[in-house]
Structure 1
């Protein structure tokens, strides 16, 4: 009997669910999606006790209804050998992921800023990436000389970092080429992992950059 595909519950856009899509795709796992478009759909999940903390993302997987993005990511990564081989590796992966998600959160929230604030935030994101975040990962890769961040194999840390790099490059083209050319080589290598390369191809379930329709849908679903 075939294993049931995970089902993702979220609006039809990136947000905090996009990282879950990335990790499932990197693991080679096919998934289904049920898009939230109205407050009523969200309320139905809440009333049916499907959301432990009344929030999405929510992923139905292995008979569970998982919420809280980091917990979802940990479960998928651990199940599909993307979370290290021992406690030390898992801790390093978790540390790198937490740092990357700090930067990714700025990118996720950017479309919801007022127009006058969006360009200022792009400048702020660039500064933080260049001065705080990307130098850390460039140093890690340079010091151990391996292809991936931890254990010389693809992990959750690589997947989340690549997602963040590509999302940032949509707003700031050539940021790696201009400031971190050696780090750019890493980005290309991870992009060419077969499962990730497939996810990056047209027609995949990777979501496009947020547009006005997505922003409006998020407000329709979540705002009182």
Structure 2
């Protein structure tokens, strides 16, 4: 019987975060071993655990998995989050890799010398190259591919939240998100009731 999944990475998001998200959505419990010293990394190398001398490393199903895309594909395939047929899998992978391209640009921001220029570049590419693709894909269906949840949907949520966090660096946006601003809370029963009364709606839309 395979033991609990174990993730080997730094105590931060990086390339492991998409794996954490996907395992969480698949309701798979996992433990984490955080790399804090070079000695830990060298031991993984000497033990032959890092095929390409890189992390993430995921211990799962009696295997030691490396390479982020391969790990994500394995988890998605195992937990039915990878599309129902070959054509759907292709589209899931296409969306997924586009999202990873965008998220990797965001990941390197903390290491950039000129953060503002890099952030402006990311925002422009997100607006002009990446987000329109997903807006078009989601113009009708609730999910990106095949009318069912896939790893691409999970990564889209992760990426959207990353972009949202970067946008909150804008002072005006940050102030709007603070308690006491004119930002409204999520819709509650009073809100729904008021709209139904104002427009004389007799029953819910769905």
- Normalization by structure 1: what TM-score? 0.74
Q: C-alpha root-mean-square deviation of aligned residues, in Å? A: 1.8
Larger Rg belongs to = 2
CA distance in 1, matches of 2:10, 2:168: 27
Question: Deviations for 1:86-126, whole angstroms, at most 9, x for unmatched residues?
Answer: 00100000000111111000011111112xx1011111111
2:124: which partner in 1? 127
Query: Cα offset for 1:21?
Result: 0.3
CA distance in 2, matches of 1:6, 1:146: 33
Q: Which runs of 4+ in 1 moved over 3 A?
A: none
The secondary structure found in structure 1 opposite 2:138 is helix
Query: Cα offset for 1:174?
Result: 11
- Whether 2:138 is the aligned partner of 1:137: answer no
2:65: which partner in 1? 66
Extract unaligned runs of 5+ from structure 2: 174-185, 187-206
CA distance in 1, matches of 2:106, 2:154: 16
Quick one: which of 153, 156, 180 aligns to 2:151? 156
Quick one: which of 153, 164, 185 aligns to 1:169? 164
CA distance in 2, matches of 1:174, 1:85: 40
CA distance in 2, matches of 1:139, 1:173: 25
CA distance in 2, matches of 1:174, 1:68: 31
Extract unaligned runs of 5+ from structure 1: 179-187, 189-224
Structure of greater relative contact order (alpha carbons < 8 Å, 6+ residues apart): 1
Structure having the larger proportion of residues in helix? 1
Query: Cα offset for 1:78?
Result: 0.4
CA distance in 2, matches of 1:174, 1:64: 41
- Whether 2:17 is the aligned partner of 1:18: answer yes
2:115: which partner in 1? 118
